[in-house]
Amino acid sequence: MTIKTIFKLRKVILGVVLLLVLIILIGGGYFYLKNKDKTVIVNLYGTSTDVNTRQVENMLLILKERFGSRMSLDIHLITDRDEEGNFVSFNELNNQEEIALFDIEENKRQIVLQKYYPENFYRYLESRNTDILTVDWQSPAFYAGLKDLEEIDKLVENEGSDLLNQEVDDFKAWRESLSAPPSTIPNLLIDGELYTGTVNMLSLGAAIAKPLLRQGRDFLPKSPYRSLFSGAVLVSSPFAHKVAGITECYNNFHCDDKPDQEGFCVDIGTNKTRCYYAEPAKVDLTVLAPDGYDRDDDVLLWSIKQNIKGAVGNINVVDAASSEGRDLLAQFNLTGAPAYIFARNLEATKYFNLLRARNNFIEIGDFYLLNVQPPAQVLNEPQEEAQGAPEEGVEALETPSEGEVQNESPESGAETEEEEEAGEGEEIE
């Protein structure tokens, strides 16, 4: 090989390297521009003096600062209305009329501030929530950089009622769109979906990060790579399944977002942290039903389906008055119906160990009988925010709290073909 040939070869190699670098830079820039404006829309419905509303507001304000423009936050202050159309506060503490009136007035003020002074509203709320039941709203307003307090008073007087009425109308319309609307406030929507998870910073952060990371996909792939130019170039490092440093899950509880699949948080603490989904273990359930039983009205069965996804589609309803029903009554020493009898394959379900530790099941031979005696709540905490939650006084399966949820998951390396092809993952910083 001549020296001339060697120089030509070096030029070709250098040209190829430079071309690849250029492709990566252009592709990376394109990907950044394509995704930099992705946002998750968060809507909170509550009332200004309610302690639970303020708790969620304070967490969302911190997360808003963390996610920045990727998170759109709208706080909707609402009331009820009586037959005459008068506002009725959701926060009538011990029937204290002055608290109710104060709540309505503060709702109007916050709605006005959010509409006309959006750049100051979050800072006002941050300060106001530290001592909401004082009449001094002016100090938080000054803290937020608001100066023309007389103008704010005029806006509240002239427009406050109309703006509050509009919020109430929108809230009622949203509730009417649901088959089983929540019975209490606050209500939190993340990208239009009612949030029914635990109310803490970690869980809310993961729930908000999830749609930002997935960007319309059903789940994240195992490898956090980026695909450029229709897959012609794949880049895996240094990207991660994170947005603003937050992953979509920190324990199995954060992966309970699919009604027909069990979710597990895998590769926790790495750049590959994500929810892994698998078909739920099938569970055979026999419902010993009383006369006139309707499974659609059975709130305990609703709770079972939420907790034990593998029972859905494998439910056998037996009339307690039938021959088979009488045999079951005798076999399990039951005095009446309804009763819920699980086969031993219940042991393979995700939360079996936790629910059994809570005494939700009584082991009888090769079966487990649902024990409806323990204090109960629905799996999707908090209970009062869960769609279709049991009515007051109706017992259900007790929920594993987030601190109890163990990360018993399939081998994180085990991955379905669909997961491998799910699309590119990324860290959006």
- Sequential DSSP letters for 404-424: T-----S-TT---HHHHTS--
Enumerate the domain spans of the chain.
Answer: 40-190, 199-279+409-420, 285-349+352-385
What does the pLDDT read at residue 372?
A: 74
What does the pLDDT read at residue 313?
A: 76
Question: Where are the strands (E) in 197-333, listed by range?
Answer: 226-228, 233-235, 262-266, 274-278, 285-289, 315-319
Per the structure block, which two tokens stand in for 296? 């659609």
Question: Where are the strands (E) in 320-415, listed by range?
Answer: 339-343, 361-364, 367-370
Q: Does domain 40-190 have CATH number 3.40.30.10?
A: yes
What does the pLDDT read at residue 400?
A: 56
Q: Beta 367-370 vs 339-343: how paired, if at all?
A: antiparallel
What does the pLDDT read at residue 354?
A: 87
User: For every one of its 429 residues, what pLDDT tens digit does the chain have, with 9 covering 90 and above?
Assistant: 576 666 667 776 777 777 766 766 665 554 444 455 589 999 999 999 999 999 999 999 999 999 999 999 999 999 999 999 999 999 876 577 889 999 999 999 999 999 999 999 999 999 999 999 999 999 999 999 999 999 999 999 999 999 999 999 999 999 999 887 888 899 999 999 999 889 999 999 999 999 999 988 899 988 776 655 555 555 554 478 999 999 999 999 999 999 889 999 999 999 999 999 999 989 999 999 999 999 888 888 888 887 888 887 789 999 999 999 999 999 999 988 999 999 999 999 988 998 889 899 999 999 999 987 543 333 333 333 333 333 333 334 445 555 554 445 554 444 444 444 444 444 433
Alpha carbon of 249 to those of 199, 254, 255: distances in Å? 14, 5, 7
Residues 6+ apart with CB under 8 A from 72: 39, 40, 41, 42
Residues 6+ apart with CB under 8 A from 269: none
Instruction: State pTM to two decimals.
Output: 0.74
CA distance 110 to 233: 50
Alpha carbon of 272 to those of 277, 316, 407: distances in Å? 15, 41, 15
